[in-house]
Structures are given as structure tokens and as C-alpha cells.
Amino acid sequence: QVQLVESGGGLVQAGGSLRLSCAASIRTASRFVMGWFRQAPGKEREFVAAIMRSGEITYYADSVKGRSTISRDNAKNTLYLQMNSLKPEDTAVYYCAAGLSAWTDRANKHAYLSWGQGTQVTVSS
């Protein structure tokens, strides 16, 4: 039932950068596995990145690995996704999610308990 609010999306040129933020309504501390997903028009919601409860272990989809960094600040109840070298194919609505799932379910959208409303990322050529 935790409320999540994404921000930081926008329109950028290819090669540019964005830092997405996800603010939680309650303190998460190290209770939740958190992740980012994205959904482009006409496509299924897909996994982008996840971060372990401890914040030390991360996992990325191949499509963003090397260009993105997921991090969390438990003191601020905030999740981040730094995206660099953006490509037009990164265009999508980005959602943050939180859950008590096992780490093995980190890329499974059905394993997450709470979702934000999403923030639009548009990358132009």
C-alpha cells in the first residue's frame, strides 16, 4: 500500500541523460526490493533494473546495462535511475516498483507489490 511517485522524465536528445526519481510515502529502509520497469506503446511492460534491499546488489536488463545506474537512498525514501547515452528506443513510460519479493524474482513484474503512476521519457534523434 506504499505510494510511489516518479519524477524526472522529459524530452531529451539521443546521447543525453536523465535522472529519474521515485519517492515513497513511507520509510522503506532496507525492507523492499525496488525496481524500474518501462512500457512503450503497444508493448508489454518490461524490466529495466532492480536493487536489493541492502542497496549493494543491482541487476540490469541487457538493453540498459552499462548506460544506467539504479540506486536508493533509504534515509530519503527515494529510488533513482540514472540513464546516460539515451537512445530513441529508450522512449517509454517508466515505472518504479517496490515489493517484498525474493531477489530471484527481481525482474518479474508480478512479484512487486506497489507501483507508481509512471513518468514519460522521450528520446529524440
pLDDT tens column, 5-16: 999 999 999 999
Question: Grid cell 523492499 — which residue?
Answer: 32
pLDDT at site 55: 82
- What mean pLDDT is predicted for residues 57-65? 97
Give the three cell numbers for residue 74.
533509504
Residue of 111, 63, 115 lying closest to 87 (CA atoms): 63
pLDDT at site 30: 63
- What mean pLDDT is predicted for residues 13-39? 89
